Amino acid sequence: MFLEVENISFQYPNSPDYVLKNFTLTVPKGITLAIWGESGSGKSTALRLISGLEIPQQGRIKISGKIMVDHNTFVPPEKRGIGMVFQDYALFPHMTVARNILFGLNKMPAEAKKVRLQEILALVDLKGFEHRYPYELSGGQQQRVALARAIAPKPHLLLLDEPFSNLDSSLKTKIRQELKTIIVQTGITTVFVTHDREDVKCIADIVVILQKGRIMEIGNPSELL
């Protein structure tokens, strides 16, 4: 298994209730898994725990066999080799598209960076936009920059937090297809959370249905939703 989440429990400080309780999940390599649930079901928290933005009170997370967090280990987010697309994209407003994408490539030699940038821009179909600032882009373009930025450093695992929630419904269908194509092209293991059944049906190989911090069902999207 590529991603193993074992028995995770998590509660936010000052909150009496657990957001996730004994949450266990495994994701095979190359698979796209959706976590589907209502708001408040703990699905975004699950992504934050996998990425290392939150620390669980209990449990263990492993990525390709290496322990990311347990009672005596914690690997900070920057060392986990994951890419994440945030719900509101969180593009750095003071950097151009190119600099946003290059941000995660700082350890690469300059020449390689240039090549990678062009490669990625082509992949997300944003050639010619490299000198724009985020506020000069449409919602759909911003979303693609966020995706490009997340996959540019070639992460082992891609996490997407409600990737389409900020888009017009007319755009959604098109961008879902594009995202699916990009994920297939790169072959990257992906976990995404959503409350939209259509997202799941269109993109996911497996779906996990989450309710109040507990997994209700796991299975094939076309069967469960």
Partner 1 sequence: MKSVGNKLKRVAWRATLYLQEVVKVPRNIKLNLNFWSIASFMILLLLLLPNLNILAGLLEEPTENWLHIRTYLLQSYIKNSLVLVGATAVMTIITGTLLAYLVAFYDFPLRGFMRWALILPLAVPPYMAAYTYSGIVSFTGPIQTFLRNTVGVSPNQKYFQIMSPEGAVFIFSLFLYPYVYLMVKAFFEKQSSALIESAQLLGRSPVEILIYTLLPLARPAIIGGVSLVIMEVLNDYGVVHYFGIPVFSTAIFRAWFGMGDLNSAIKLAGLLMILVFATVVIEKLLRGRLSFSYSKSAVRPLVPRRLHKTPAILALTFCLLIFSFGFVIPVFQLFYWGLLTYRSILNYEFIASLFNSVMLAGITSSVIVILALIIGNFARISTNQLGNIVSRIALIGYSIPGTVIAIGVVTFFIQMDSRIYWLYKPIIGGSKKLVLSTSIVMLVFAYIIRFLAIGYNAVDSGFEKIGRKYFEASRTLGANIARTFLLVDLPMLKPAVTGGFILVFVDILKELPLTLILRPFNFHTLATKAFQYANDEMVQEAAIASLIIITVSFLSIYLFYKTAERT
**92 binds partner 1, rule: CB under 8 A:** yes
Among 15, 16, 39, 106, binds partner 1 (CB under 8 A): 106
2 near partner 1, judged by CB under 8 A = no
Pairing of strands 189-194, 157-161: parallel
Decide: is 16 part of the binding site for partner 1 (CB under 8 A): no
Taking the least distance from each CB to partner 1, the nearer of 9 and 211 is: 9
Helix, strand or coil, per DSSP, at residue 175: helix
For residue 17, the minimal CB distance to partner 1 (Å) is 17
- Which residue among 1, 67, 90, 224 contacts partner 1 (CB under 8 A)? 90
Please say whether the beta carbons of 51 and 159 come within 8 A: yes
Asked if residue 73 binds partner 1 (CB under 8 A), the reply is yes
Is residue 55 within 8 A of residue 8, CB to CB? The reply is no
107 part of the interface to partner 1, by CB under 8 A: yes
Q: Is 88 in the site for partner 1 (CB under 8 A)?
A: yes
* Residues 184-223 contacting partner 1, CB under 8 A: none
Element (H, E) at 148: helix 139-151
Least distance between partner 1 and beta carbon 69 (Å):
9
| Shortest Å, Cβ 72 to partner 1 | 5
Contact at 8 Å (CB) between 145 and 101?
A: yes
Alpha-carbon gap, residue 214 to 182, rounded angstroms: 31
DSSP 134: G
DSSP state of 155: -
Residue 63 backbone dihedrals phi, psi, to 5 degrees? -120, 130
Q: Nearest-CA neighbor of 135 among 85, 179, 95, 102?
A: 95
Q: Which of 65, 94, 109, 169 binds partner 1 (CB under 8 A)?
A: 94
Site string for partner 1, 123-162 (x = CB under 8 A): --------------------------xx--x-----x---
Which residues from 44-63 bind partner 1, rule CB under 8 A?
A: 51-53, 55, 58
Q: How many residues bind partner 1 (CB under 8 A)?
A: 33
Dihedral (C-alpha) 107, 86, 29, 218: value to the nearest 10 degrees?
A: 160
Q: Among residues 54 and 207, whose Cβ is nearest to partner 1?
A: 54
